[in-house]
Amino acid sequence: MLTSDDLISRKFTATKFREGYDIVEVDDFLDVVAAALRRHERGEPLGLSIADIETQRFTATKLREGYDIVDVDTLLDEITATLTLLGARTHESSHLVAVAAEGGPFAQLAERAARARFSPSGWGGGYEVGAVDAILARIVSTAVARDQRRSTTVAGEPLLTGVELQTTTLPRVRFRPGYATAEVDAFLRKAAGVLG
């Protein structure tokens, strides 16, 4: 999951003799996204939707320097995955706060899954960011529901089991960044042990 600091420190490959995205447009848009994430980190409304990311278009550069299209598109995918996870966490946030305050046995798992961060795998391969973030959102929803002794999540989805988590096969990526597989696998093993 990305933070505002991740966006501020992100660097892109520059293009000179091939098509890229307009540097100013990309930087301005990332400033907007970073400000939204900063608001969320302070507990304020995000004020940004997945549609805002998916509909964003940048002017292509050909004869002047730009940002590498694949680099920027990969980051946009990561932002979308982050907003998806934050949406699940926001949906569950009031329940999560209540569960954490009561100190239920799954509260710690919900908190860890909601805050989980993994190293990027680089271009050599790793787990697909969106798939990992989706399973983290399911862990949060399941942990909250288990502490509240519900048989489904707030959204009405079946609860995730430890066995299901252990046997989940996450899609891998090649030639684009993903999450480091060893870190994700270690986290999922611990989560499966808690879910039983």
- Whether 176 shows a pLDDT value over 80: the answer reads no
Could you tell me the pTM of the whole model? Answer: 0.55
Portion of the chain with pLDDT greater than 70, in percent: 87
Per residue in 52-83, pLDDT tens?
Answer: 888 889 999 988 999 999 999 989 888 887 87
24's CB contacts (< 8 A; 6+ apart) are none
The answer to whether residues 1 and 116 touch, using CB atoms and an 8 Å cutoff, is: yes
* Closest listed residue to residue 193, CA positions, set 118, 129, 143, 134: 143
* Domain that includes residue 37, residue range: 4-195
Instruction: Identify which has the larger pLDDT, 58 or 43.
Output: 58
Per-residue CA distances from 110 to 14, 33, 107, 140 (Å):
39, 25, 5, 4
Per residue in 109-138, pLDDT tens?
Answer: 887 887 787 877 766 678 887 788 888 888
Tally of structural domains, the chain: 1
Per-residue CA distances from 172 to 43, 51, 113 (Å):
33, 25, 20
